[in-house]
Amino acid sequence: MTELELAKMKERSDEARAKARELQGYNEVLAEVRSEAEAAEVTAAIIRGSNLTQKEIAKRMQVSQPFISQLKNGSAVTLPTLFRLARACGATLKISACF
């Protein structure tokens, strides 16, 4: 691909992003995507920081090991599950709101 083709592709991409930002609900969707990504990061960090195997965590949570693997790999997690995971791993989960 030539540099000119890449530049045109970037321009089209930038234009598409600008149009998307104008759509109603864009900010809400973006916030949701970011919060899901943050939850996935926290989940993986809890699992890594526990020094427990996935099997041990699963036993403590009374779930399957593949479920823990899915969580570690970024599967969507509910807040109650995140709290259960933290407890099973010996961690404390704190949520705060900043204004």
pLDDT in tens, 33-81: 678 888 888 899 999 999 999 999 999 999 999 999 999 998 888 889 9
- Res. 19: pLDDT tops 90: no
Query: DSSP label at 90?
Result: T
pLDDT at 11 over 80: yes
What DSSP character marks residue 6? H
The range of the structural domain enclosing residue 26 comes to 3-88
80 within some domain: yes
pTM of the complete model:
0.67
CATH number for 35: 1.10.260
**Is residue 97 included in any domain, yes or no?**
no
**pLDDT-above-70 percentage for the chain:** 94
What DSSP string runs through 21-89? Answer: HHSTTHHHHHHHHHHHHHHHHHHHHHHHHTT--HHHHHHHHTS-HHHHHHHHTT----HHHHHHHHHHT
| Proportion of the chain above pLDDT 90, given as a percent | 42
How many structural domains compose the chain? Answer: 1
Task: Identify whether 98 is part of a domain.
Answer: no
